[in-house]
Each structure stands twice: as C-alpha cells, then as structure tokens.
Chains A and B, each alone.
Chain A
Amino acid sequence: MKTIFKVLVILVVAILVGGLFYGAVTASSSGTDQTAMSERPHSEGGFERHEGGESGGIQFPADAVKNLLIITVIATLYVNISRWIKKAGPVSTKNPVISS
C-alpha cells in the first residue's frame, strides 16, 4: 500500500511537471507550425531519423561511445575539482553527508 502511494506521488509530480511544460510549449507556439501525423516529413531539424540495421550489418555505436566519454569527462572533472576544493578549503564537520 505504501509503495503504491509512493508510485502515485512520483507519477503525480511527473504529470504536474510535464503539464507545465506542455502548457508552456503549446502557449508559446502559434499552432501554425503544427502538422498532422500523416503529413510529417521523414526527417526535419538537424536530426536524421532512420531505422538501425537497415544495411544488414552491425553498426558501431559511435554516439553511445561519445556520450559515455562525455559523462566520464564531466564526472572526472567534477570529482577532481571537488577534491581539490576540499583540500584547499577548511573542512567542516558540522553537517555530515547523508548517504543515499
């Protein structure tokens, strides 16, 4: 019962956040740039959408590797910078960290 309540809380918050975004986007767009599903062009914007593996072979997941690299670089930078700041600055023990 408690778990169902927690799931409901998560979903309600997500719906509220999503609803705010939906309202903001639909209010800001005039509605003239909306196209029916059947009239959609296959690719628009800078993002070419296509089914993977159409050529039959296994593709190299270049974007996944690139994204993994970006996450690694950001995480490494953050960890090292925060360690450097901790070493340089005074250590506070007043409010201990609560591990998640």
Chain B
Amino acid sequence: MTNEVSKGAVSQTKSKLWVDVLIFIGFLITMDPHTSGLAIHEWLSLSMIGAMVVHLLLNWDWIAEITRRFLGKLGGQNRINYILNWLLFIDGTLIMISGIMISEIALPLMGIQLPLGFAWRRLHDMSANIALLLLGIHTALHWNWIVNTFNKYLIQPVVRLFSAKQKKDVSL
C-alpha cells in the first residue's frame, strides 16, 4: 500500500515536472510572436489554457489546503506563494481575454468577428510584461523543487545510464 502511494507520488511529481517544462517552453514561444508568427502565437496560447488547467489540477491539493488555512496559521512563504499564484492566475486570464479580443487569426477562423478596442492591445502587452515578472518570482519561489526534481528525474538517470554503460565497456 505504501509502495503504491509512493509510486503514485513519484508519477505525479514526474507529470508535474513535464507539464511545467512544457508550459515554460510554450510561454517562451508565445512571448515571441515575431519569431513564431501570429498563427502559432494564437493557437499555442489557446492550447496553453488546457495546459494551465492540468497544472492547476496537479497542484489542487496544495491550493485547497492553503485556501482553507489562508486566514489561519500559515507560513510567510506559503502566503506569498498563494497570493503570487492568484496574481498569476488573474494576469493569465487577462492575457487570454485581451488576446481573444485582439485575435486576428484563430477567432476569425472560427467565424467569430470581434470589434477591436485599442485598450485590449495595450492591456495584452502590459499583462504579458507583468506575467514575465510574476513568472520570474514564481520560478524563484519553487527553485528548490525545480532543482531537486530536475536532479532526481533528469540528471541522475542520465548519469546512471552513462556510468552503467562505462562499467559494461570495462567488463567487456
């Protein structure tokens, strides 16, 4: 039973790692529409909604626990983390809604025509810049987790693979 629980925890941590890596790469690509092009920028951004939902689902227990304890006793770092995550969520929603309002490819292709408000363009640029700042702090707050998980699930297996190969070569 304990073994099953720990196996489940390992696979969830791995899922979290890969979803986060994909979101991070997706974020970098969508933040550079000059290189990727507007079509990739818009479609990738829309698909990021799904990735963000998965990210939130994978961290649901933490969100529920901190929401319950927010007004009671809670460590300073958890409180900062929780507030920052809300800011990221609000900012992400603003990026999405302003992006939808100024969409030139994805929405017209779906047959949706929206009037252009110049405020949405300014809001889209501003919220994207804020997201960059928030993502930097979000990364910093999870730095230990990122380093440990990368080390455990990416660097160590590669090192073990090479050392096993070396041992095999020596024994031959």
Contacts and interface: CB of A to CB of B under 8 A. Distances in A.
Given A45-B118, A52-B36, A17 B53 contact: no
B48 interface: no
Interface in B52-94: 53, 56-57, 59-60, 62, 65-66, 73-78, 81, 89-90, 93-94
Q: B40, B94, B125, B142: which has the most chain A beta carbons within 10 Å?
A: B94
A5 B132 CA distance: 30
Nearest to A46: B125
B45 to A, nearest CB: 14
25 contacts: A14-B93, A17-B93, A18-B97, A21-B98, A25-B117, A25-B120, A25-B123, A28-B119, A29-B118, A37-B113, A40-B104, A44-B121, A45-B118, A45-B121, A46-B125, A47-B121, A62-B34, A67-B28, A68-B28, A70-B133, A71-B139, A75-B136, A82-B140, A95-B73, A95-B75
Contact of A33 (B37, B40, B118, B123): B118
Contacts of B104: 40, 49
A74 interface: yes
Interface residues of B, number: 59
A1 interface: no
A71 B146 CA distance: 14
B75 A18 contact: no
Interface of A: 3, 6-7, 10-11, 13-14, 17-18, 21-22, 25-26, 28-29, 33-37, 40, 44-53, 59-64, 67-68, 70-79, 82, 94-100
